[in-house]
Amino acid sequence: ATRIYKAAIATRDIMIQLGIASDGGKDSLSMATKVNDKIIKSPGELTISAYAPVPDINKILTPDIKNPGKSNLWIINLGNKNYRMGGTALAQTFKQVGNESPDIENVEMLKNSFNAIQKMIDKNIILSGHDRSDGGLIITLLEMAFAGNVGFEIYHKNLDIDPISYYFNEELGLVVEVSLEKEKEFLNTIKHFKLSEITFKLGKTTKEQIVKISNNKEILLEEDMKKLRAMWEETSFELEKLQTNIKMAEQEKKNVYAQKEPKYNLTFIPKPTSEKILKKENKPKIAILREEGSNGDREMTSAFYQAGFEVWDITMTDLLKEKISLDDFRGLVFVGGFSYADVLGSAKGWASTIQFNKNLKKMFDDFYNRSDTFSFGVCNGCQLMAHLGWIPWQGINDKLQLNFTKNKSERFESRWTTIKILPSPSIMLKGMEGSVLGVWVAHGEGQISFSEKNILKKIKEKNLAPIVYIDDDGKETEKYPFNPNGSLFGITGLCSSDGRHLAMMPHPERTFLKWQWPWMPEEMKKNLKASPWLKMFQNAFYWCEKNNLNN
């Protein structure tokens, strides 16, 4: 109770000095619950969650070094001349706690540093940045290099503090990457916010993947970045062995050791949808269909709306109760999620609702057979389309239908992956052939299994597998984690022979806006006016306009 009180008082005092306030909260530290006559106490730690308005979500600062060989690394050392080791990760590895923990000595400098960073992000003065994190300055620098897949060289003249204390203390501080041509602006900003006395150049970034730290002529550390990254990731891999198929965990460790930056490629120029289309009165109608347990419908709705559609939110219950039919819709979308919690297997419960209801079966068959309609299924919706026999072609024998089985990793996979779009009849992928793009995946059962080899052969001959996972060399792959589920030849999307029906495991609707991409090459980020994935939704709109049978 004493510690809770002291933490609350300290929090109150610094908030007053910073000029900020708490607008609510709960004292979870003093809470407890009773289970089977036992008192379960809350954890002995204080966690504070904070939020703030962001004027421009496109202006963000990430830790990955972005311009190796043409930038320097600087530290804003808010710990000033303190190097307290209490509570550090290093101390804990030696089963110690320490005597003195870091603290905030100068609140005004903390406030000034925040304002300085905000201004420099707004003015594009700094390229990347990272707080002095768990592990201290050395880990901060290494994490920036790991994420950027580069190296750095730090050089000191007469370092007047023990290197262990200097590099492993966890005092407040920030490391930022500044390009050579922006250093004057950087220093002027630092001076304006009165931070000059605590801001120092640490060294330079390098394209060569070597980490080097020296003091005068003494080399404190010189090592291959990849080797250090493997050491840093070792704990995660040991945990993965307990959660994942061990063979896959070992494969990932091997495959990401010397991982390269993915080489995205665009065979078209992405453009925002014109205002003329967005303001049209008579738009093609599209039904975003969901079942109990579905999710992703909001993102899908937004993507098709931004392409010019009139979007309708439809549930299976609406169709079952005959509140609405599919007759007036040009497009039908099956969204991702976990229909019926996947207790019956991937989308089997959803498919059964359609297949074993006479009226629904006729409604869906009629929709599929109309020449002016298209359908799109993602993730759980992709699995559904396979169970319905809508892909790769209608009327495929039930025994020959494709199945989506458990990922080879034997766990749910949520990753940012790289795919390639191959030539196919798909109307939604028209003009995108040859493009290499990043996309989100989130599924537990995404491995396509073929009951007969002839089915796979026919699919490849007819170019009905337009989307494949690729490795960092741009090759179709079954290697984990580049291929998160283990599907043969990296196949992760299928379309019908006439191109009107497309199903895929990845989630383009979660990537149709530029800011939804967690990583994008700097040139691509700078030059693109819209996310490349928006084009597939626009393609659907143009196809509907072109094939409007009512005209």
DSSP letter for each residue of 324-336: --STT-SEEEE--
Tracing tokens 């460790």 back to the chain, one arrives at 253
Q: Which of 413, 501, 509, 544 is catalytic?
A: 509
Give pLDDT, residue 444: 94
Give pLDDT, residue 125: 97
| pLDDT averaged per 10 residues in sequence order, the chain, 551 residues | 81 90 66 80 67 86 96 96 94 93 93 97 96 93 97 92 95 97 98 97 98 94 97 95 95 94 96 96 96 94 98 97 96 94 85 94 95 97 93 73 90 96 98 98 93 87 97 95 96 96 98 95 92 98 86 45
Give pLDDT, residue 551: 45
Give pLDDT, residue 452: 79
Give pLDDT, residue 476: 96
Distance of CA 511 to the CA centre of its chain: 9
Does 507 qualify as catalytic in the annotation? yes
Query: What does the pLDDT look like over 238-282, one tens digit per residue?
Result: 999 999 999 999 999 999 999 999 999 999 999 999 999 999 999
The count of other CB atoms within 10 Å of the CB of residue 204 is: 18
Residue 409: both structure tokens together: 């990793």
205, 212 Cβ separation under 8 angstroms:
no
| Residues 36, 264: Cα–Cα separation, whole Å | 56
| Inter-CA distances, 330 with 113, 271, 309, 383, 466, Å | 54, 23, 10, 21, 22
| Inter-CA distances, 3 with 9, 104, 430, Å | 10, 18, 63
| Residues 435, 438: Cα–Cα separation, whole Å | 10
Query: What does the pLDDT look like over 378-425, one tens digit per residue?
Result: 999 999 999 999 998 776 666 667 889 999 999 999 999 999 999 999
Query: What does the pLDDT look like over 186-236, one tens digit per residue?
Result: 999 999 999 999 999 999 999 999 999 999 989 999 999 999 999 999 999
Q: Which of 130, 379, 445, 501 is catalytic?
A: 379
Q: Which of 170, 240, 507, 544 is catalytic?
A: 507
Rg (CA), the chain: 28
Does 379 qualify as catalytic in the annotation? yes
